Structure 1
């Protein structure tokens, strides 16, 4: 089920009118001062510090895992959507750095397209939250991999980060800071204490939020949806960090992380000593975000939309309104060589992103001499079969279905033969093969959409106008960014 269809069935808040209605919510009383201290420590641009004034109006929030060099380009597209919405209503734009996430497999790789070759750096990161991973042991490897780009002032600034999450936050500041994007790292020493009261409240009734998620999951399932979140019996929505980050369970009036048991008093003491060690699971994270931030709008990707849709009961439990939900911009970047190829074949780059080689074959057949004539002959043959079927039906009506099946089989076999012909023709044409492989490297690297593999910083480092093209793009839907 499409995310927006599900949202309509569930009555979730969407749209700019709802965003305006949510403005004016108050965040944590110490939010502005804590954020100012965090940003000054990171030596944030003056535009970012000035953007803090917009917090009084409200915030449009988005977020992502702390990937290398800003992570895949979708990170910048989320930020762009949040910045555009915030600008429309005079609010601040905040980017939640998912520093509490310990799935290092999602953030330890950096893929770059260099000299028409996909090159990958993979760091041996420990299974810790990104906010706990020191960046110093990996700094030189990243610097060497980036080569001359590491001397760019923006990259050099980002490389000074003390942790993996700080490297990510500094990348956002370096490339999007002049637009006023405010990074927010919940594990930063200045910001982690803001969540103490919310965590204390969750410890008071540790199964209530999990029950609310399961109830909403049943409602979504009844509507034909597939809820991604499900809490097992006794599972809470809290992780405790010891030697690892483990989900807490609650049973017999005590907590356990699968290794040892904890009383509520012990967890409260841990919370008071180091509030960053107790962190919310996915089913609680957006709500905790909105308990601290004056969130009016929340920008998400399609997959995030599905799990946020399950949280209306948790928002109600905490007595705060769910923010207006917005899907992020999707974009594809066309560098000059790829722009020339898509123009040559009149190929829609989004058709290639969605359909891959089949889309290229469809475009190629328009320029291959003789192919269109052959395709036209097949259509004429099908028309003759249809005419033959009409004559047969006039003589014997019971033959209608057999003739319909015959025509469908003939059409299917004809299309398969034409596709085989195209592939065989392309296999003998070095230029076509070269163009197809180049399209794959640029638009579908590793078999995935470009926006999920290459960082947008790569384009910004290669093309001075890349950030301007992003700024000029619409804030929602699909955009094609032509560079060079």
Structure 2
């Protein structure tokens, strides 16, 4: 495995500047991720006894129960025990649970968390534990219920979990029956190519699915299996035992709603004053909390002196909301703005691993952290990868393609190749022929209509039939060209579908098992053992 760096700039201007021009956005964040002193400064702040924090003992107890229940390994359980020590810190990152772990970027986030925790342990000389936060409280089931793989027919195949749902539960509360699991696994089996690794992979997944009641359990069991030896600690944000530890901050959020709203809106104004666009819509009436009611997760809004969802299904006074936070915190849930605060309250977060869009909206949060006596942790850009297998490398070499050509100008490159093969000249010849024929025939139609007006329609029909015959010959010529160059055209298509499927980066579309079925689990292990440094670059991985 060979790894090369490539500058693939994020679509979000604020994230681009965070990586390549930190000074431009320094006022929006707390620590410079490219300054080595940041870790020691953050660690010193975390060592303060006065900072708001959940009790470590109950946190470790809750984590042990969950991780044991999903079959996480001994290394992770040892890391959980280490969290009881006030010296132990955390690198954290997370994602919504997805079918068969979802797109590759999910695993890359875990790789980043593990690598950053390992390196921070060495730099600081104290234990730093990798933690993966499963956003089980989210309820976007349409985003979580599918994944993609490339079929032998060069089709980007969607594998979907077809399980019934009649309300809007969180991902962790969406019960999946055995028939839906079997159907999803059958779809995956039909899509993945047949290799020596396939039977064992499918058997392992079948066992995991049979033991999983929910999408979150399935996700957690697979992640625990894939990263077993690296001690990645998993936490489900929808775990009732974890929620009980969140009550203190939930209560603070409930009583300081207006201050939180003002802080976020002021941050939005400051961010936009620097020329950036806020990635999250903010309105004064937002409560930035959800409440669970009869199996549904409902967003709360401030309406006068009460908190209610849009339909008025639930309506609470501030006193009732605070009481719920104190007595039944499992009935409350964070939104995108309060989840980072809760992570920092629960864990001694040295650094947080974020994707490009997450880095962008975290630019709104510095003052919100400070409002509750917290401090924004170091924000580390997630490692980005594109996997290039040997066959793709050979095909790119054959067509004289660089990686940048594939992601930015592949159509132009392919058209130039087609022109060199004579295809475009033939297309242009047919186009000119039809144009010239119509120019010559128009006077004929005009002449016969002058003899008899009724002949105009006959002349136009006759002209159209001749044009159709030209089109027919053009189609046959195109078929002959495709037949002559079928192998080459398939190679062009394979390059496109491998690197930029659906017009998006590979890591945002394909499932990891597309590669595990070919190479076993060794490719992921090798990626984890490859020396990587935090630099914000995209990495091309040559198999």
Task: Judge same fold: TM > 0.5, yes or no.
Answer: yes
Match of 1:347?
401
Q: 1:63 aligns with which of 81, 94, 112?
A: 94
> Is 1:294 matched with 2:361?
no
Q: 1:42, 1:77 → 2: CA distance?
A: 21
- SS of aligned partner of 1:172: helix
Match of 1:3?
15
Indicate conservation of the 8 Å contact 1:51/1:182, yes or no.
yes
- Relative to structure 1, the CA distance from residue 155 to residue 198 in structure 2 (aligned partners, 3 Å threshold; closer, same or farther) is farther
Q: 1:160, 1:305 → 2: CA distance?
A: 35
- Relative to structure 1, the CA distance from residue 334 to residue 4 in structure 2 (aligned partners, 3 Å threshold; closer, same or farther) is closer
Spell out, residue by residue over 1:359-408, the C-alpha distance to the aligned partner (whole angstroms, 9 max, x if none): 5557x59x95899xxxxxxxxxxxxxxxxxxxxxxxxxxxxxxxxxxxxx
Q: 1:331, 1:21 → 2: CA distance?
A: 30
Comparing both chains, which one has the higher relative contact order based on Cα–Cα distances under 8 Å and sequence gaps of 6 or more?
2
Out of 470-479 and 318-327, give the one that drifted further. Answer: 470-479
- Relative to structure 1, the CA distance from residue 142 to residue 330 in structure 2 (aligned partners, 3 Å threshold; closer, same or farther) is same
Match of 2:500?
444
**What runs of 5+ residues in structure 2 fail to find an aligned partner?**
1-12, 48-52, 122-127, 190-198, 424-477
> Is 1:250 matched with 2:299?
no
Q: 1:312 aligns with which of 356, 366, 374?
A: 366
- Relative to structure 1, the CA distance from residue 461 to residue 174 in structure 2 (aligned partners, 3 Å threshold; closer, same or farther) is farther
Q: 1:273, 1:163 → 2: CA distance?
A: 26
Q: 2:105 aligns with which of 70, 74, 79?
A: 74
Match of 1:479?
539
How do residues 195-206 of structure 1 correspond to structure 2 at under 5 angstroms? 195-206=246-257
Match of 1:34?
62
Q: 1:33, 1:135 → 2: CA distance?
A: 27
Spell out, residue by residue over 1:336-373, the C-alpha distance to the aligned partner (whole angstroms, 9 max, x if none): 332321232342335413444335557x59x95899xx
- Relative to structure 1, the CA distance from residue 177 to residue 357 in structure 2 (aligned partners, 3 Å threshold; closer, same or farther) is farther
Cα deviation, residue 175, structure 1: 0.6
Match of 1:44?
72
Q: 2:336, 2:391 → 1: CA distance?
A: 41
**What runs of 5+ residues in structure 1 fail to find an aligned partner?**
372-422
Q: 2:323, 2:182 → 1: CA distance?
A: 38
Q: How many residues align?
A: 430
Q: 1:284 aligns with which of 317, 320, 338?
A: 338
- For normalisation by structure 1, the TM-score amounts to 0.81
Indicate conservation of the 8 Å contact 1:102/1:129, yes or no.
yes
Q: 1:159, 1:149 → 2: CA distance?
A: 15
> Is 1:177 matched with 2:177?
no
Q: 1:99, 1:429 → 2: CA distance?
A: 49
Out of 334-343 and 77-86, give the one that drifted further. Answer: 334-343
How do residues 106-145 of structure 1 correspond to structure 2 at under 5 angstroms? 106-116=143-153, 117-124=155-162, 126=165, 127-136=168-177, 138-145=180-187
Cα deviation, residue 431, structure 1: 3.4
> Is 1:213 matched with 2:264?
yes
Cα deviation, residue 154, structure 1: 5.7
Match of 2:451?
none
- Relative to structure 1, the CA distance from residue 171 to residue 468 in structure 2 (aligned partners, 3 Å threshold; closer, same or farther) is same
- For normalisation by structure 2, the TM-score amounts to 0.73
Match of 1:99?
136
Larger radius of gyration: 2
- SS of aligned partner of 1:102: coil
Indicate conservation of the 8 Å contact 2:181/2:209, yes or no.
no
> Is 1:226 matched with 2:226?
no
